[in-house]
A = this chain, B = another copy of it.
Amino acid sequence: MNIELATTALKALAHETRLRVYRRLVQAGANGLCVADLATELGAEANGSFSFHLKELSNAGLIRSRQEGRFIYYSADYPAMNELLAYLTEHCCAGQSCGEQEHSCTIPENP
């Protein structure tokens, strides 16, 4: 992680729709959700704008996609967020260790 990757990831998360999408995908676990379900759950429409936001998150490496039949499933890339948090925390702690205070994200069990 470097400052360029960090700003890219932060930019991707710095939009309400995308932050909601990301959060929902994190909660969804490794399977993720297909676009239509994702949009429905967030009260959004699966249109070009929604697709644009998915691409932003995807380009930032925060989410991944896989085709499954007619549907495209998106899922959170947990390590990416962990790296971002680590980067922010590192600087947040002024180069000192936070002691026990690490963070990391667990992948929820498949529902």
Contacts and interface: CB of A to CB of B under 8 A. Distances in A.
B7 A16 contact: yes
Interface stretch (A33-41, A63-71, A95-103): A95-103
A106 to B, nearest CB: 6
Interface in A30-77: none
Interface residues of A, number: 38
A108 B88 contact: no
A1 to B, nearest CB: 12
Interface of A: 3-4, 6-7, 10-11, 13-16, 19-20, 22-23, 26-27, 29, 78, 81-82, 85, 88-89, 91-96, 98, 100-106, 108
